Structure 1
Amino acid sequence: MRLTYESGLYGQQSPKVTVMGDVYLPDPIYSCESNTFYDVPSGSKGWIALIQRGQLCSFSEKINVAASKGAIAAVIFNDLGTDNRVIQMSHPGTEGMVAIMIGHRRGMEIVELIRQGIPVSMTIEVGKQHGPWMSHYSVFFVSISFFVVTAATVGYFIFYSARRLNSVRLQNRKQKRLKAEAKKAIGQLQVRTVKRGDEETGPDADTCAVCIDAYKSGDVLTILTCNHFFHKTCIEPWLLEHRTCPMCKCDILKALGVEQPEEEHPSHQVTMPPDMRSYPSIPVPDDTRSETASSSYASSGYASVQGTEKHSSPADETHTFETLGHYPDPGSVQVAIQPHYDNLAFEGDSQNQLEPRT
């Protein structure tokens, strides 16, 4: 069975080298006296002494006794009640002797194996570096990380709070300005008193949209720019907060000119249709002359309808056919096709179309 432990710690004066050998116990186990006995077979070389700490003798004395008996290394396990904790021993005067300390629990496990007659071999070698300096670096890096995270969090909180406070301050300033303008606008609104017999006091009259109470004789009403009226005591607090009519959402500030409305910039320009009368005429074959003439005057839109409704005179009809007969070529006729437009300038265009053209 092979067990590996990394809980051992080299002594201050011990060389940091690798040694290996069988493990033997001293009798007594504290190895303080020079007559301490080690049950080591004759001829054994390179064995390791396992010694318990304590019994009022120094580490140097324990190590020197083991060295005098032929041990190449001394393993001292800690006192009872220390679990697997270890310390770095100071053992001057033992130069050249490898000495390490292991925990009490680990040491007692090895002692029990040896007392049961189980041979135990041990290899002592330099393991991973660990010690107080590792803890210092760990604490340093953890502290730096914590400081960076804390600074970032506090910085973001300060930035967010400042931005939020600035936004609230601007909003409050805007609300105060609008409330002051609303007070000016309220002073410009018309006020009237309801009298007995007024329409507002009738059974079918509307109620105040703010308080849902019917109007009574003697009530003072405020008439808004949209001609909606409400109780003066009801609508004024509403206007100070909302500045709009509760019913139609009309903005009293813009209506009274207290707050100029934003200019609306048209997103596109409306292009007027071209005058199709300026386009060249289209020749039409002779066999379709009558149909073309009919479609020509039918395409004039409301002009044809208006002419029908007004029962145009025979002179106009005669003029139409005379105009068609003025073309020198009897095999073709030229007809000016007029577009059909629905616009506000229709009356003027229709009158111009009825004028004779040659």
Structure 2
Amino acid sequence: MYIVWRLLLMSSLVGWATAHIILMSNNDTHIDKAAAFGPSLTKEGVIGNMFPPPKESKQGCNPIEAAPCENWIAIVERGGCSFVDKVRTLQNSGAKAVIIGDKHYNGWITMYAAGDSSDITIPSVYAAQYQFLSLLQHLDGKPVLIKITENELFSWSWSDLLIFFSVLLPSSILYAVYLTWRVRQQNILKRELAPSDVVKSLPIHSFHREKDIPIDECIICLEEYLEGDKIRTLPCKHEFHSACVDLWLITRKKFCPIL
């Protein structure tokens, strides 16, 4: 069930958030998306003091002569220059990691690097509007200690993959084969049954005992015909209790029980 739950959740949210930003003071967690360049985040993550650059460089496009605090993680606004240029500039300014967000657009963006980004040695993440604004609210002129880690919900361990390919995938294939077989069997059964409207259209009459009737009992239920019983006559001229033969034709076979 654990693996099934992860698969369903990942299938509905794939391509969404891949990083966590955790405020160390209260464990408040913000979900973000890691950049497609630079080093990958780990479970251990990066710990540092979140602080914005000076106001004249709030988008992180200009070098910072003096770091705003010790062991710092930059949080900057989108725009002004490319994502990779922001991260490169802030890396050269001493930042351990970079958080980029948009105050006006509440959507997820994958941050790509158009050119060579092999010089990028710090991780970076993108925060959607609500997450970004929430992080900024925690800043009150002083650093905030945070931790940026990978989102473990979207990280596949070797044990997860092993269980999926060895258990769940074969089981899913077998279940699909079983469903296909059941559908085929139902279609075969439908072809062997008579439509109810066709059965109801067959002639019916009330039984009246007469000396020249050769058979005076229903072959299906083996009960004698009683005066006034409803008798259904099939195209082959065999007669049965209406209730008995109707049930036979609709649920068992579309052919006469005697044939």
Q: Would you say the 8 A contact 1:63–1:99 is kept in 2?
A: yes
> For 1:159 and 1:259, how far apart are their aligned partners in 2?
36
Structure 1 residue 5: Cα displacement: 2.3
Shift of 1:25: 0.6
Q: Which amino acid aligns with 1:89?
A: Y
* Deviations, residues 246-295 of structure 1 (Å, cap 9, x unaligned): xxxx2x2xx11x52457xxxxxxxxxxxxxxxxxxxxxxxxxxxxxxxxx
2:121 aligns to what SS in structure 1? coil
Gaps of 5+ in 2: 1-25, 156-163, 218-259
Is 1:259 matched up with 2:214?
A: yes
Q: 1:241 to 1:19 in 2, by over 3 A?
A: same
What does 1:72-221 align with in structure 2 at a 5 Å threshold?
Answer: 72-77=96-101, 79-90=102-113, 92-114=117-139, 116-130=140-154, 151=180, 154-155=183-184, 157-165=186-194
Report the 3-state secondary structure (helix = DSSP H, G, I; strand = E; otherwise coil) of the residue aligned with 2:138: helix
Post-superposition Cα deviations, 1:13-61, rounded to whole Å, max 9, x if no partner, equal 3233421110111132111123x466614xx2x2111111112x11121
Question: Structure 1's 48 and 260: CA in aligned 2 closer, same or farther, altered over 3 A?
Answer: closer
Indicate the structure whose relative CO is greater, using CA pairs within 8 Å and at least 6 residues apart.
2
How far is the alpha carbon of 1:158 from its aligned partner? 2.9
Q: 1:166 to 1:64 in 2, by over 3 A?
A: closer
Q: Residues 321-340 of structure 1: matches in 2 within 5 Å?
A: none
Q: Does 1:21 align with 2:44?
A: no
Cα distance in 2 for residues equivalent to 1:8 and 1:148? 38
- After the TM superposition, which segments of 4 or more aligned residues of structure 1 sit over 6 Å from their partners? 143-150, 166-169
SS of aligned partner of 1:108: helix
Contact 1:9–1:100 (CA under 8 A) maintained in structure 2: yes
- CA contact 1:11–1:101 (8 Å) conserved in 2: no
1:242 — aligned with what?
206
Q: What secondary structure does 2:112 align onto?
A: coil
Q: How many residues align?
A: 173
SS of 2:154's partner is coil
Kept after mapping to 2: 8 A contact 1:13/1:90: no
Q: Does structure 1 residue 40 correspond to structure 2 residue 62?
A: no
Query: 82, 87, 94: which one pairs with 1:63?
Result: 87
SS at match of 2:193: helix
Q: Per residue, is there more helix in 1 or in 2? A: 1
Equivalent pair of 2:31/2:131 in contact (CA under 8 Å): no
Larger radius of gyration: 1
Residue pair 1:83, 1:105 contacting (<8 A) in 2 also:
yes
Amino acid across the alignment from 2:28: L
Deviation at 1:98, TM superposition (A): 1.5
1:128: Cα distance to partner? 1.6
For residues 159 and 124 of structure 1, what CA distance do their matches in structure 2 show?
A: 59
What amino acid maps onto 1:6 in structure 2? Answer: I
Instruction: Say which is worse superposed, 160-169 or 118-127, in terms of deviation.
Output: 160-169
Aligned to 2:126, the other structure's residue is in SS state strand
Distance 1:6 1:146, change over 3 A: farther
Residues 47, 148 of structure 2: 8 Å contact kept:
yes
Aligned counterpart, 1:12: 37
Q: Which residue of 2 aligns with 1:284?
A: none
Q: How high is the sequence identity, in percent, across the aligned residues?
A: 17
Are residues 63 and 168 of structure 1, via their aligned partners in 2, closer, same or farther at CA, if it must alter by over 3 Å? closer
| Partner deviation per Cα, 1:182-240 (whole Å, 9 max, x = no partner) | xxxxxxxxxxxxxxxxxxxxxxxxxxxxxxxxxxxxxxxxxxxxxxxxxxxxxxxxxx8
CA distance in 2, matches of 1:9, 1:151: 41
Unmatched runs of 5 consecutive residues or more in structure 1 = 132-136, 177-239, 245-249, 263-358
* Cα distance in 2, alignment partners of residues 31 and 260 from structure 1: 100
Higher strand share: 2
Find the aligned partners of 1:145 and 1:5 in 2 and give their Cα distance.
40
Once superposed, what is the RMSD of the aligned Cα atoms?
4.1
* TM-score, scaled to structure 2: 0.52
Report how far residue 148 of structure 1 moved: 7.0
SS of the equivalent of 1:49 reads strand
Q: CA separation in 2, counterparts of 1:63 and 1:165?
A: 73
* Aligned partner of residue 130 in structure 2, secondary structure: helix
